[in-house]
């Protein structure tokens, strides 16, 4: 029987056991890392583009909402002014009618 190596398997001499394919030459390994990095950069760029688009959409919607709020505020101010005028008008009308009824009652 052949002598056992340090790993205990027959036929193995000393040294590191072989596991998996041999390491890639440094050039291929660095190319692979460069491609992975480029893919990650492209992914981040895509995410940033989406976020910028969302930001611009949000900004536009906020601007439109601000315009609508301003228009609503202007309408509310106009309503308040009209309501106050109407209230005064009917208050005076009530006063005239009330005095007129009082005069009629007093005369009768």
Digit-coded pLDDT (tens) for 50-68: 999 999 999 999 999 999 9
* Rounded Cα gap, residues 40 and 49, in angstroms: 14
Instruction: Show the tokens assigned to 89.
Output: 């008008």
Average pLDDT, the chain: 82
DSSP string, 75-92: HHHHHHHHHHHHHHHHHH
CB atoms within 10 A of CB 18: 8
Of 11-20, 34-43, 81-90, highest mean pLDDT: 34-43
């Amino acid at each position: 029987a052949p002598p056992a190596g340090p790993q205990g398997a027959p036929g193995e001499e000393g040294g590191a056991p072989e596991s998996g394919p041999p390491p890639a030459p440094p050039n291929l390994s660095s190319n692979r890392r460069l491609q992975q990095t480029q893919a990650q950069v492209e992914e981040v760029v895509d995410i940033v583009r989406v976020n910028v688009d969302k930001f611009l959409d949000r900004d536009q919607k906020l601007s439109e909402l601000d315009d609508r709020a301003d228009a609503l505020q202007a309408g509310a101010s106009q309503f308040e002014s009209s309501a106050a005028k109407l209230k005064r008008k009917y208050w005076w009308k009530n006063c005239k009618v009330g005095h007129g009824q009082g005069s009629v009652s007093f005369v009768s």
